[in-house]
Structure 1
Amino acid sequence: MIAASVTPSCALLHRVDVSASGRRASSTFKQRKQSPRENHHRRGVVKVAAAENLDALSELVAISPIDGRYGSKTKSLRSAFSEYALIKARVTVEIRWLQTLSEIPEVFEVEKFSNEANQFLENYLKNFSPSEAMKVKEVERTTNHDVKAVEYVIKDALKENAELKKALEFVHFACTSEDINNLSHAIMLRDGVEVLLPEMDKIVDTLSTMAVENADVPMMSRTHGQPASPTTLGKELANVAYRLARQRAQIPKVPLYGKMAGAVGNYNAHMSAYPNVDWQAVAEKFVTGLGLTFNPYVTQIEPHDYMAELFGSIERYNTIILDLDRDIWSYISIGYFKQRTIAGEVGSSTMPHKVNPIDFENSEGNVGIANALFAHLSAKLPVSRWQRDLTDSTVLRNLGVGFGHSLLAYQSTSRGLGKLDVNAAAMAADLDVNWEVLAEPIQTVMRRHDVEKPVNQEGMREFVKSLDIPQDAIDSLAAMTPATYVGNASAQAKRIVEMIKKIE
């Protein structure tokens, strides 16, 4: 018989067990030879049953690769974007708001906190651990409201101090949940940016160093995939370093906004209780005291426009990383770079001679995911019906995902750059078989001296010697090779560090 299971997969599992026990099959399921497809499905049922035992979260069973396969590489973001980080940020905002209320003379019900009371609060914040955060999650099972659970846990903790116990009812005073949340998210983003910036800088520094070291290494450039005027490897790397540095410089300049204005942004509850307090001034001082920028015009929510600005800045940096990944991948494929192998690494499961550009491919994939998320966040978060709808709530819980995939991309690109060896011989050989690129300087010099003749790519030097132009021009063109026709590429590459310092 079939067990009364909630899910069909469990029911099927029971059915298989009954059949295996040798009991007579019911008339509904007549015994017959199982098809290959059914056998495959039955094997799959065993896997489902095994999965039911995977309740304890670990890197092995995490659904998201951010916390699973790549958990060791993204753990630096947990202090910014984990559930614990969100709860701790909320607790911080609640405590700071309570301290602010104690400083307002008109709110005489909350006496100015003594040094001892303030130290108690500071110690509570300093020692707020994941185990404390679990208390919030336990209370939330009853309240079904995450911010209210934070309020209850704080009140329970403050009962231990006689002075603070008198002010318990002013925890979360006049606040809507979004007053706490918007400030918490801003704090989280600030902390998350601080994790990304060093990784961004590392790539810029690496590229700048490589640019200077290879400033004089001539290289064939390509436009439309075809050979074009020569450049140097250092100059091309400097191009990317400068682009990245400029976008990186914009990221910390994006102001992180916050509000503390109540249910619809008008301080309605605040003013009904204490009409003589300049609550907007209080809110501004409070928000800026958290290291954020005060937004004076809000609804129930801070409108998240700054988030779109921030994500756009990171997205632009990521897009340049994508461009770099693809270019380096292509240069590897034509032999301009060799890749150093790491002891124990396997390049291909069936072709041991291969060293695949996996780091740049991994980076490219992670950039794609990160930018897709940032694009959605930027498009969604600034849009909220009337004074507020809740569609942003679940979206905001994914702030760290875009950061996580960005971090993985940066790490992979850095790792890939660290494995590269420049194959100058391959670049020189490529230049040596593309003398036609010298048609450009020859034609340009001819125009200067008013000579109108087509350039024959064959016998170019002989052709140059026959031109009716000054001898010094002939000598200069005759001495030119594709490897020396690089303009000021070398000088540009050598100035990259200086030029990056000028970026504002």
Structure 2
Amino acid sequence: MSANAKYQSPLTSRYASEEMSFNFSNDKRFSTWRKLWLNLATAEQQLGLTDITDDMLEEMRQNLTNIDYDLVAEEERRRRHDVMAHVHAFGVVCPKAAPIIHLGATSCFVTDNADLIILRDGLDILISKLVRAIDSLTNFAVAHKDLPTLGFTHFQPAQLTTVGKRATLWIQELLWDLRNLERVRNDLLFRGAKGTTGTQASFMALFDNQVDKVEALDQLVTKLSGFAKPYAVTGQTYLRKVDADILNAMASFGSTAHKIATDIRLLANLKEIEEPFEKNQIGSSAMAYKRNPMRCERICSLARHIMALASDALNTNSVQWLERTLDDSANRRISLPEAFLTTDIVLSVLQNVSDGLVVYPKVIERRIQQELPFMATENIIMAMVKKGGDRQVCHEHIRVLSHQSGYHVKVEGGENDLISRIREEPYFAPIIEDLPALLNPSTFIGAAPTQVVRFIENEVQPALAPYTEAISQKQAVQLQV
């Protein structure tokens, strides 16, 4: 069958990065299995198994990526066991080492330990991309820290904030996501050499019940595989709560990304902020004028998938009876790669959007002027009181004029003319010259600019400090439409 005659996951065929696609590829997985068999044999030799020779180890080392997938498929059809098919195929190209490949191990020695290596490497990819997205949004927040904009609560006009201050709310959630991903990355340990039910019985037999050597084997294989320590206890598998922990961290990020993208979509409708739009990009096949926020829509669409996948891991963990059941396998083959691939895609799109966000200050200013007169009424009342006016009398004048202006806007379809009405009302003559200052938007943003600066100095920069190299390697993300 041709590639176009069968289903292909859009995660790999359309969206995902090459590095994350490779991380979950057959080449990565099965070469990692072979490296684990080499590590096991190396550790067993170092701990006194004289039947394992240097020639055997070198033969294995030379064939880590020399995988005959046709032979593997043939063997799996015959043996109905994927691990033993690969053991046989490895032995064919390593005839000297064939007798000692997989010595003392159970299938989960390669499957679970390889999964942990792949999860670790996948988390490293995600963390690097997340810090780059945070860096892009941080640059945006700094650039627009002083630009007043209408705040919204309940998506109704509220007190002013700044464009940069609003971006810090997005960044703060992303910092929490960074913390969550760092934690699950740093908590990740190795299954090691634990045997069929986690008791290390096969290795006890191999080393004549010398428990010190069996424990040393567990530690040595772990070290050779790039981990600091193994899990102290396991069943046949590492506990599937590890998967749930990782996917929950990703789901939490998915929630953040969905919120950020939704905010940008709402602001795009108001024509205040837009995601990047390419010169020849078509927004609609029928409505040529449209500039649809397709990048942010993609983020929202895929973020929902990330959040949904977390339930797979939770449910799988909950039904791992006793030392294990095999009903985790098929689910994990789908849910783990898809969670990583989808999160990887969302992070790439998020950086692309953050790098190219377009702000329209004139539109923002016009919307402020439509709402600011109502928000300025308290300032006007205070100014009148300072000039000798009575607060209650002033409040009643403002109330009447506000309702008149509101009727003009909502019923008659006019512009907000409250300030014009105030100018024409003789009662307010004492403060007419003060109105421009009282209506200056920059006086309504409180400490927002300072908050941006302090937040970046005290929160963002310390969090990103360990990742200066990753940030320096940041490149513009090109997306496939």
TM-score scaled by length of structure 1 = 0.76
Give the 3-state SS of the residue equivalent to 1:227 in structure 2: strand
Once the two structures are superposed, the pairs formed by residues 167-206 of structure 1 within 5 Å of their partners are: 168-206=98-136
Residue 33 of structure 2 aligns to which amino acid in structure 1?
R
CA contact (8 A) 1:227 1:437 kept: no
RMSD (Å) for aligned C-alpha atoms: 3.3
Shift, 1:328, TM fit = 0.2
User: Which of structures 1 and 2 has the larger relative contact order (alpha carbons within 8 angstroms, sep 6+)?
Assistant: 2
Choose which of 188, 195, 200 in structure 2 pairs with 1:262: 195
Aligned twin of 2:281: 345
Q: Is the 8 A contact 1:61 1:68 kept in 2?
A: no
1:376 to 303, 312, 316: 312
What displacement does 1:174 show? Answer: 2.0
Please, which of 38, 43, 48 is the counterpart of residue 95 of structure 1? 38
Provide the rounded CA distance (Å) in 2 between the counterparts of 1:382 and 1:443. Answer: 62
Distance 1:61-1:441 versus aligned 2 partners, 3 A rule: farther
Task: Return the alpha-carbon distance in structure 2 between the equivalents of residues 480 and 438 of structure 1.
Answer: 6
Alignment of 1:2-151 (within 5 A): 55-57=1-3, 61-70=6-15, 73-105=16-48, 107-110=49-52, 113-114=53-54, 118-125=57-64, 128-129=65-66, 131-151=67-87
Equivalent-residue separation in structure 1 for 2:260 and 2:317 (angstroms): 30
Deviations 1:421-456 (A, max 9, x none): 211111111111112223566799999xxx974573
The 1-side partners of 2:378 and 2:251 are apart by 37
1:448-475 per-position Cα deviation (integer Å, ceiling 9, x unaligned): xxx974573547888xx999xxx9xx97
Identify the match of residue 286 of structure 1 among 221, 239, 252: 221
Q: Deviations over 1:273-315 (max 9, x none)?
A: 3202421342133224322341112111111222222222222
Contact 2:244-2:317 within 8 A present in 1 as well = yes
The structure that is helix-richer by fraction is 2
Aligned-pair distance for 1:258? 2.5
Q: Tell me whether 1:494 sits opposite 2:437 in the alignment.
A: no
* SS class of match (1:230): strand
Using the alignment, how far apart are the partners of 2:241 and 2:262 within structure 1? 32
Confirm or deny: 8 A CA contact 1:231 1:489 kept in the other structure: yes
Corresponding residue for residue 276 of structure 1: 210
Moved more, 377-386 or 264-273: 377-386
The AA in structure 1 aligned to 2:222 is: V
Deviation per CA, 1:198-236: give whole Å up to 9, x if none. 322222111111111111110001111211110000111
1:272 CA drift (Å) = 2.8
User: In the aligned structure 2, how far is the partner of 1:92 from the partner of 1:406?
Assistant: 27
Query: How much does 1:197 deviate?
Result: 2.6
User: What is the aligned partner in structure 2 of residue 479 from structure 1?
Assistant: 438
CA contact (8 A) 1:221 1:231 kept: yes
Cα distance, 1:117–1:482 mapped onto 2, change above 3 Å:
same
CA contact (8 A) 1:66 1:74 kept: no
Change (3 A) 1:214 1:186: same
Distance 1:281 1:265 in 2: 15
Q: Quick one: structure 1 residues 376 and 476, their matched pair in 2 at CA, closer, same or farther if it must change by over 3 Å?
A: farther
Write the letter of the residue equivalent to 1:176.
Answer: T
Larger Rg: 1
What amino acid is the match of 1:66? L
Percent of aligned pairs sharing the same letter: 21
Which string of whole-angstrom CA distances, capped at 9 and with x for unpartnered residues, describes residues 304-355 of structure 1? Answer: 2222222222221221111000000000001102455423321110111111
Partner of 2:365: 428
> Alpha-carbon deviations, 1:371-397, whole Å to 9, x = none?
211332233235401211101111221
Per the normalisation by structure 2, the TM-score is 0.80
AA matched with 1:269: S
Task: Return closer, same or farther for 1:441/1:502 CA change in 2, 3 Å cut-off.
Answer: farther
Contact 1:100–1:286, Cα closer than 8 Å, also in 2 = yes
Q: How many residues align?
A: 429
Question: Residues 148 and 161 of structure 2 are in contact (CA less than 8 Å); yes or no, is this contact kept in structure 1?
Answer: yes
The answer on 1:153 being equivalent to 2:76 is no
Of stretches 361-370 and 416-425 in structure 1, the one that deviates more from structure 2 is: 416-425
Gaps of 5+ in 2: 403-417, 465-481
Q: Are 1:322 and 1:364, in contact at CA under 8 Å, matched by a contact in 2?
A: yes
Residues 198, 368 of structure 1: alpha-carbon distance in 2 compared, 3 angstrom cutoff: same
Shift of 1:418: 4.0
In structure 2, C-alpha distance between the alignment counterparts of 1:92 and 1:137, rounded to whole Å: 20
In 2, the alpha carbon distance for the partners of 1:301 and 1:445 equals: 72
TM-aligned CA deviation for residue 257 of structure 1: 2.7
**SS of structure 1 residue aligned to 2:63:** helix
* Cα 1:445–1:149 shift into 2, 3 Å: farther
Looking at structure 1, the residues matched to 274 and 141 of structure 2 have their Cα atoms a distance apart, in angstroms, of 17
Could you tell me how far apart the structure 1 residues matched to 2:94 and 2:86 are? 12
Residues 501 and 478 (structure 1), Cα distance of their counterparts in 2 relative to 1, 3 Å cut:
closer
| C-alpha contact (below 8 Å) 1:347/1:354 kept by paired residues | yes
d(CA) in 1 for partners of 2:33, 2:3: 24
